[in-house]
Amino acid sequence: MTIEINIKTVEEIKVVELNGDIDANTAPDVQKQVVPLAEPDSKILMDMTQVPYMSSAGLRMLLSLYRQAESKKGKVVLVGLSEELQDTMSVTGFLDFFTTVEKVEEGMEKLKE
């Protein structure tokens, strides 16, 4: 399984569109491309609407991104988590770290605040 990663900048927000499963095989690729986006005062929107499945490797990657962004006063917003991903993240306490919204537009608004 491969994952498609598209990164674009909209205004000063880095929009990361992910398409596919995030698991032990794909998480390292995502991490390599996404974590460096966490620069001082960065604003990162992770569009997860096309991510049906995420393993613990995916959760670790998100936590790593969160920690990098947080240490540099950046912000990360997750968009469009499936119910399954929300449940997993809720049970593991991950939802406490992230701002999550349903739509990209809402995420953009949150990051502009």
pTM: 0.94
For the stretch 68-87, pLDDT in tens is 999 999 999 999 999 999 99
Which pLDDT does position 2 carry in this prediction?
85
For residue 1, pLDDT beyond 90: no
42: domain CATH number? 3.30.750.24
For the stretch 32-46, pLDDT in tens is 999 999 999 999 999
Residue 106 lies in a domain: no
For residue 67, pLDDT beyond 70: yes
For the stretch 21-35, pLDDT in tens is 999 999 999 999 999
| CA 33/CA 20 separation, integer angstroms | 15
State which residues form the domain around 9. 4-98
The count of structural domains within the chain is 1
Residue partners of 109: CB distance under 8 A and separation at least 6: none
Residue partners of 15: CB distance under 8 A and separation at least 6: 7, 8, 9, 45, 47, 104
Residue 107 lies in a domain: no
